[in-house]
Amino acid sequence: MFANLMQPMDMPSFAPTPLPFELPPLFPSFGKPDEMPTDKPQCPFQAFFNGLFNPQEPEPCVLNEEDTYADDNVFMREFGRTAYKSVLRGMYKSEELPITDECFGEWMQEPMETVSSLMDLAFDDPFEISVKYAKDVSNKLIDAHAKMHKTCMFKTVYDEANDWCIDNIDMCLGSDDKMVSRLMTHGWGLIPKVSELFNFVFFTSDCISDKDFIQEMGRIIEDFTSIFSLLFGVELVHDPSVKPIHYSQTKLNEIFDEYYANQTQIAQELPSLDYFGAMW
């Protein structure tokens, strides 16, 4: 009987039946990063890791001549105008800015070229600078300085910022203890701005025209200013019908010194607490 049990038995066949379709592989292999299929979504950091571990030969940079400034003075003027407007948009949070269309306008080209010529002559042969030429350059610079203050309204922006600071001195000096609360309240609004900063740092192409570079830098400056304004609660409002109060630097220092003195006195009058929160 035992011998009969040891005999091989006829087992039923379990041969797999071919399926009418092909199953995808369990662990697909994409090969090198640059060989990944383009029709499938890739990791947003793929370009960053490719640059580190799988660098490729850079493609030839071809830029449109219309988007590139041949004159450095034009580039500096356009960059200054974009940067200044970006700061104001971040502080006022509005497209209606307290400036005119002539702010950093084409009228600045002549005084900037005059300064460049003076600097070139000063480095080449300073003894050739005559008194009359120096006076003419100085007068042009003074006129340009006055026109720039008028068109860009630096004094108005300065006064409106100081007025807000005096009216909200706790927030202005970061002593209202609500910075974390504002961060938690508006945190979701900061995510796109932080993402733009990250993309600009890691994913901006080296082949970029002057106009595109200025535009990208304007966005970055506006994002930085918006984040700063949000954390400190800055909300400037420009009302042409209201003339802001002008404070000299000496007067501002007196106001701030008085505020700090009051804060110090209040802190000294509070009961001291030990490590466990007990009053002494």
Write the pLDDT tens digit of every residue in 92-125: 877 777 888 899 989 998 888 888 888 898 899 8
At 8-43, the pLDDT tens digits run 555 555 555 555 545 545 444 444 444 444 545 555
Strand partners, 279: 273
* Count of Cβ atoms closer than 10 Å to residue 104 Cβ: 21
Tell me, what DSSP letter sits at residue 22?
Answer: P
Q: Which one is predicted more confidently, 199 or 275? A: 199
Instruction: Please give the model's pTM, rounded to 2 decimal places.
Output: 0.67
The Cα–Cα gap between 37 and 81 comes to 43
The pLDDT-based confidence of 278 (bands split at 50, 70, 90) is: low
SS3 call for 273: strand
- Alpha carbon 138 to its chain centroid, in Å, reads 35
Our separate counts of H helices and E strands in the chain read 11, 0
Task: With cut-offs at 50, 70 and 90, classify the pLDDT of residue 2.
Answer: very low
Hey, what are 106's tokens?
Answer: 């084409």
Tell me the C-alpha to C-alpha distance, in Å, between residue 217 and each of 110, 149, 213: 25, 23, 6
67 neighbors 210 (Cβ within 8 angstroms): yes
Residue 49 contacts residue 193 (beta carbons within 8 Å): no
Residues in the chain: 280
Ranked by mean pLDDT, which of 172-181, 191-200, 249-258 comes out on top?
Answer: 249-258
pLDDT of residue 170: 87
Between 262 and 49, name the one with better pLDDT: 262
d(CA 247, CA 159): 7
| Helix, strand or coil, per DSSP, at residue 20 | coil
Among 84-98, 199-213, 232-246, the range scoring the smallest mean pLDDT is 199-213
Q: Is the pLDDT of residue 201 over 70?
A: no
Band of residue 5 on the pLDDT scale cut at 50, 70, 90: very low
Top-confidence range, 35-44, 46-55, 235-244, 261-270:
235-244
Rounded to the nearest angstrom, the gap between the alpha carbon of residue 193 and the centroid of all alpha carbons in its chain is 8
Which residues lie below 8 Å from residue 264, measured CB to CB, with a gap of 6+?
none
Give the pLDDT score at 210: 84
User: Which two structure tokens, joined as six digits, stand for 212?
Assistant: 């595109």
Mean pLDDT of 156-165: 91
| Burial (CB count <10 Å: 0-12, 13-18, 19+), residue 257 | exposed
Name beta bridge partners: 273. 279
Q: Which amino acid is at 147?
A: K
